Amino acid sequence: MATKIISTICPFCGVGCGLNLRTENGKLISVEPQLDHPVSRGQLCTKGWNSAYGIDAQNRITHPLIRTPQGFRQVSWDEALETIANGLKQILAESGPQATGIISSARATNEDNYAAQKLARAVLKTNNVDHCARICHSPTVAGLSQTLGSGAMTNSAADLLETDLILVFGADPTENHSILGGHIMRAHLEGTKLIVADPRCTRLAKLADSHLQLKLGSNIALLNAMVKTILDNGWQDKKFLDQRCEGLEQLTASVANALEGVEETTGISLPEIESAAKAYSQSKRAMILYGMGITQYVSGTNNVIALSNLALICGQLGRKGTGVNPLRGQNNVQGACDMGCLPNVYPGYQKVDNPEARAKFSQYWKTEVPEHPGLTSMGMTKATLAGEFRGLILFGEDPVVTDPDQNLVKRAFSKLDLLVVAELTMTDTARMADVVLPAASFAEKSGTFTNCERRVQHVQQALPPVGEARTDWQWLAAIAQQLGSDQLDWHDSEAVFREITQITPNYSAMNYTKIDQLQGLQWPCNHETPEGTAILHKDTFPIGKARLIPVHPIDIDERADNEYPLLLTTNRLHFHYGCGSMTRKSPLLERETPAGLLFINPADANDLGVTHRSAVGIRSRRGYVETRAMLTDDLPPGLVCMPYHFREAPSNQLTNTAQDPLTKMPELKACAVSVQPLEPGMSPRPIDEISALKVEGVK
Amino acid sequence: MKSYYLDHPNTLRNHLAKSYQIEPPEADSAKSTPPLISPKGQLFAEHENLFTFDGECFRETLPKPAPFVLFGVQSCDLTAIHYQDQFFANDPYYQARRQQALLIGTDCLNPCQQGFCPSVDAGPGVKKETADMILHQLSATSWLLLVCNKKGLNALEGLLLNPANESEFTDRDNRIASCVEQFNDDSYLQQGITAINQNQVPEELWQQLGIQCLSCSGCTTLCPTCSCYGTWERQDSNGDIRRQRFWDSCLYESFQREASQHNPTEEAGERVKRFWTHKFGDNFAQEFGRYGCVGCGRCEQTCPGVVGVHSVMKRIASDAKLDT
């Protein structure tokens, strides 16, 4: 019974809780929270407590696999790597670097992500590198870098317990970032005022002092009305505006009519708006937290700017207990962005289209790097359908389940000449691959994750990799070697991290030893701030003065009509994470809900003849799924909602691909649907069965 | 009860290490704070095979651990083991481990941050019926070792120790009594227990607490007396089927859901109410001879929803008072 306890970081959301893995004779027997962790303080959420199931050897991919007409064939690493290299060489020779690309993973370490973008830029010679931040916080990066000069959470988790007011806007932290959600509940019980703006009555909305239950997609109208109310009443922070912001005149002019018709547009009464505006602006310290309810709209970037405007005019930035704080979805989505796994920036957000930055990377990597910004993940999908993109390497993501308009993604992936997928288990995306590689889980590797408060934390290996699984940067390096490049020849993860710190200004004073000693380091961590930075923008913004930028309401792309009379939005359950490939391996979490569900107001259900837990069919202009109805007052009449965790009933059969023009963020939060009850006694059919029937029907 | 002087717990540890595996390997016996994780999992494993089936035969999979010592266990956790001994009296998996375990308790001489063992009769001094031996610190260089039973005495064979003076027993009692006095006032606990048993807790309060409960299972995982488990079948690569049990949690909505989908505790508030009734209900106390709560306070520390024992009992005490 030789038990060992290895300290690491939870692999699920962006909170980055401290997790200990208890092993016995090389096997994981249990997980436990870290008592002294600066963010989680001895706590875990249900996903964290169940994390051991997610990496269990059962169902894991243990060897490289190559697709044959008879199905997947187990092969050696050598054969897999040779197949990949030959495929890439052919595509590069025939169609050039622009026909190849990499989708990296916000679940993987900084070291893995750095290796991925370096393989793309320095070896394949393309900037076609992206990851799922595209569909969570790309509008945050685009919006906040315009207004504040940096697209990350401005403050820290600890601030939640040292503030006077928390405004949660379009986020459901108790379900998606449960430990932060818990901090909010604790703060509220101890007297901090809590305002929740959300079309759904979330758990926090039930506890809040005030719930602004706005109509779906009316974020900017509500925020502009708050700005107008504050300016009209003189509640703004004049000193902060004078000294640290520019653009007040234009903003003031732009919101002149913001109160007209706002009650109708948002569903919130003027007195409610005034009371929220007063409370936020007049609190000594007020903190904004926001999530996908801001970003996943065609108006995503402008929504972020509208929030930023509100915080800026009230001077609620740059101090403890204030700030504009995006809640990042994945354990390392912040890090994947920091590492430059985006088509337009290098590590540390140094711009690809800036010749100086390009020269710097060419020099450091001792090779020419490509000139033009690359394609986004959806750009690669579309270029594939257009015949211009042929070879994709992808790891730790399941876009077939998680990207909007599933059918489009599937069509594109089946058209690729080479699809390489590295994964823990056979996801729907992996099933479509030409070569499948076995990836090591978080417990089987070392490296760093960067949490949503910019804290770079050390992940330590507790278990040997399952089967022949390899850490992502290792197999990426092996591909580079097959292509004749030694660009990725590091001997351990610490060596990768050293390279990161040399070329990424915000990480420049970091090292593994200091990260361990100080329980993580928050960037910027450079020679001026060798112990990291808890609060951004204290004295100045990276762009000097912050910018107030006028934004106007933008309607959602698809309104309800006679044919599709209900609006569908998406949510997450605190039991599941992403495509469910890890959490659904827990017998406890899998037992908790049906495999797919639709939340619907009892009045709507009654009109349609739908009863609690009965089977329903849901149709949009793009697809059809069947699932079980859950009747709840948490949704207003006219609005239904589905989580996207279940491959049997993927909400992304239905969702709209209309995009935010700047960031290409699809409007996952709003589309029109119709709902019909299925015959009594019928069970919902999984999507595979429905699709099979459709094909037969065509024949 | 025989008693001896000991220069340091390591003398005992080193002696026992000749015949036993020592768990946990790194325990600090002078610490008056129970570890984050109780020793529950050493006796009632978090994941355990119950049997295998190869298509023809069912095979027993009883654990066969080598003799081991749980060293330096605080009174709250020993009280919990004593409680589990009753619950799992006929459970062969638990008993297979329990028979091999030697329990070395340690008296707490200072209150810990979340603990309230005196209020639930579970410490801070170790009760002799809950351990095989008890360590009691006298000074930096001197410890008292109390031997509670024959199993303990047998384990000491071959270790030469000086017998302790009779007066040490009284001094020990005094030191423990003075530790008890240092605990914070927790009268709200008594008020809360009364309110729960007299059904004085308003339903609205349970519902409110239910909203705060995230069903994370942290409390039930860390609670040293929680013992609910579920089972599932898993197939090995050779086709054999294993039935495995795993720790479950009554705070999950699906815990009590029936096949028909009917659920007596569909509301989160009902589940929170049931949990605390199990920990502090007089009916359970009658069956087990004590409350299910041993006052370790781990649930308070680990609950993200602020519905651990202190938070809940404070709110019950204040709301129930308003009610009368």
Mean pLDDT of chain A: 94
The domain in which residue B23 lies consists of 2-181
Residue A587: closest CA among B84, B247, B169, B39: B247
Residue B189 pLDDT > 90: yes
- Choose the closest CB to B217 out of A46, A182, A203: A46
Confidence of residue B29 (pLDDT cuts 50, 70, 90): low
pLDDT tens digits, residue range A389-405? 999 999 998 888 777 67
Q: What share of chain B is helix, strand, coil (3-state, %, to 5)?
A: 40, 20, 40
Give me the mean pLDDT over the A513-518 stretch: 96
Of all residues in chain A, the percent with pLDDT exceeding 70 is 99
B143 and B244 part of one domain: no
Task: Output the six-digit token pair for A609.
Answer: 């003849």
The enclosing H or E element of A32 equals strand A27-33
Q: Looking at B181, B213, B246, which one is the last position of a domain?
A: B181
B172 and B197 part of one domain: no
Measured distance between the N- and C-terminal CA atoms of chain B, rounded to whole angstroms: 48
Q: What one-letter code names the amino acid at A573?
A: L
Residues ≥6 apart with Cβ < 8 Å to A100: A88, A91, A92, A120, A124, A126, A128, A389, A390, A391, A392, A393
pLDDT tens digits, residue range B261-284? 899 999 999 999 999 999 999 999
pLDDT tens digits, residue range B248-258? 999 999 999 99
Residue A314, number of CB atoms within 10 A of its CB:
24
Q: Looking at B165, B181, B197, which one is the last position of a domain?
A: B181
Confidence of residue A699 (pLDDT cuts 50, 70, 90): very low
Q: Give chain A's contact residues with B (Cβ, < 8 Å).
A: 1, 3, 22, 29-30, 32-33, 35, 41-46, 48-50, 58, 174, 178-179, 181-183, 185-186, 189, 203, 206-207, 574-575, 587-588, 591-593, 613
Of all residues in chain B, the percent with pLDDT exceeding 90 is 89
CATH fourth-level superfamily of A3-54: ADC-like domains (2.20.25.90)
For residue B63, is the peptide bond before it cis, meaning its omega torsion is within 30 degrees of 0? no
The two most distant CA atoms of chain A are separated, in Å, by 72
Confidence of residue A580 (pLDDT cuts 50, 70, 90): confident
B221 and B166 part of one domain: no
Cα gap B68→B75, rounded to integer Å:
19
DSSP assignments along A529-554, one per residue: STT--SSS-SS-BTTBSEE-------
For residue B24, is the peptide bond before it cis, meaning its omega torsion is within 30 degrees of 0? yes
- Choose the closest CB to B248 out of A186, A588, A593: A588
Residue A585 pLDDT > 50: yes
B32 and B175 part of one domain: yes
Helix axis angle, B268-280 to B203-212, nearest 10°: 100
Q: Where in chain A is the domain with CATH 3.40.50.740?
A: 65-135+331-522
CATH topology for the A65-135+331-522 domain: Rossmann fold (3.40.50)
B75 and B119 part of one domain: yes
Q: Please tell me the predicted confidence (pLDDT) of residue A29.
A: 87
Q: Looking at B134, B154, B181, which one is the last position of a domain?
A: B181
Contact B225, A54 (CB under 8 A): no
CB contacts, 8 Å: B301 with chain A: 35, 41-43
Q: Please tell me the predicted confidence (pLDDT) of residue A651.
A: 86
Confidence of residue A649 (pLDDT cuts 50, 70, 90): confident
CB contacts, 8 Å: A613 with chain B: 261
Q: Please tell me the predicted confidence (pLDDT) of residue B324.
A: 47
Cα gap A51→A583, rounded to integer Å:
7
Contact A622, A653 (CB under 8 A): yes
Residue B190: closest CA among B80, B116, B290: B116
Confidence of residue A698 (pLDDT cuts 50, 70, 90): very low
Task: Say whether B105 sits in a helix, a strand or coil.
Answer: strand
Q: Where in chain A is the domain with CATH 3.40.228.10?
A: 138-327
CATH topology for the A138-327 domain: Dimethylsulfoxide Reductase; domain 2 (3.40.228)
Q: Please tell me the predicted confidence (pLDDT) of residue A696.
A: 52
**Total domains in the fold of chain B:** 2
Give me the mean pLDDT over the B105-132 stretch: 95
Contact A102, A392 (CB under 8 A): yes
How do beta strands A546-547 and A245-246 pair? parallel
B6 and B153 part of one domain: yes
Mean pLDDT of chain B: 93
B202 and B238 part of one domain: yes
CB contacts, 8 Å: A185 with chain B: 212, 304-306
Domain boundaries A566-698, corresponding CATH code: 2.40.40.20
Q: Does B234 touch chain A (CB under 8 A)?
A: yes
Q: Higher model confidence: residue A403 or residue A317?
A: A317
pLDDT tens digits, residue range A528-559? 999 999 999 999 999 999 999 999 999 999 99
Task: Output the six-digit token pair for B169.
Answer: 């027993």
pLDDT tens digits, residue range A340-379? 999 999 999 999 999 999 999 999 999 999 999 999 998 9
The enclosing H or E element of A385 equals helix A377-385
B316 and B297 part of one domain: yes
Cα gap A153→A610, rounded to integer Å:
42
pLDDT tens digits, residue range A138-175? 899 889 999 999 888 999 999 999 999 999 999 999 99
Residue A677 pLDDT > 50: yes
> Please, is A637 exposed, middle or buried when counting C-beta atoms within 10 Å of its C-beta (0-12, 13-18, 19+)?
middle
**Chain A residue with minimum CA distance to B252:** A592
pLDDT tens digits, residue range A436-462? 999 999 999 999 999 999 999 999 999
CB contacts, 8 Å: A575 with chain B: 215
Chain B interface mutation, best of A185, A466, A589, highest count of B Cβ atoms under 10 Å: A185
Angle at A58 between CA A54 and CA A61, to 5 degrees: 90
Q: Does B286 touch chain A (CB under 8 A)?
A: no
**Chain A residue with minimum CA distance to B254:** A592
pLDDT tens digits, residue range B208-217? 999 999 999 9
Give me the mean pLDDT over the A33-54 stretch: 93
Alpha-carbon distance values, B239 to A58, B56, B62, B236 (Å): 13, 12, 20, 5
Q: Please tell me the predicted confidence (pLDDT) of residue B316.
A: 96
CATH number, residue B43? 3.40.640
Give me the mean pLDDT over the B51-57 stretch: 95
Give me the mean pLDDT over the B94-116 stretch: 96
Question: Which residue blocks in A483-601 are alpha helix, DSSP H?
Answer: 493-503, 512-517, 587-592
Contact B254, A587 (CB under 8 A): no
Q: Please tell me the predicted confidence (pLDDT) of residue A494.
A: 97
Contact B34, B76 (CB under 8 A): yes
Whole-prediction pTM: 0.93
Give me the mean pLDDT over the B111-119 stretch: 95
Confidence of residue A697 (pLDDT cuts 50, 70, 90): very low
For residue B124, is the peptide bond before it cis, meaning its omega torsion is within 30 degrees of 0? yes
φ, ψ for residue B49, nearest 5 deg: -75, 135
A30–B214 C-beta distance less than 8 A = no
Task: Say whether A180 sits in a helix, a strand or coil.
Answer: helix
pLDDT tens digits, residue range A450-507? 999 999 999 999 999 999 999 999 999 999 999 999 999 999 999 999 999 999 999 9
B202 and B271 part of one domain: yes
**Chain B residue with minimum CA distance to A590:** B254
Alpha-carbon distance values, B125 to A73, B122, B174 (Å): 63, 8, 10
Residue B40 pLDDT > 90: yes
* DSSP 8-state secondary structure symbol assigned to residue A226: H
Residue B67 pLDDT > 80: yes
CB contacts, 8 Å: B272 with chain A: none
CB contacts, 8 Å: A49 with chain B: 216-218, 221
**Least-confidence region, from A395-404, B59-68, B172-181:** A395-404
B296 and B147 part of one domain: no
pLDDT tens digits, residue range A292-304? 999 999 999 999 9
Buried b (16+ CB within 10 A) or exposed e, A228-256: bbbbeeebbbeebbeebbbbbeebbebbe
Residue B127: closest CA among B175, B89, B189, B82: B82
Q: What one-letter code names the amino acid at A423?
A: E
pLDDT tens digits, residue range A86-123? 999 999 999 999 999 999 999 999 999 999 999 999 99
Contact A28, A38 (CB under 8 A): no
Angle at B272 between CA B254 and CA A21, to 5 degrees: 70
B47 and B154 part of one domain: yes
- Choose the closest CB to A42 out of B216, B252, B301: B301
B92 and B9 part of one domain: yes
**Least-confidence region, from A134-138, A414-418, A487-491:** A134-138
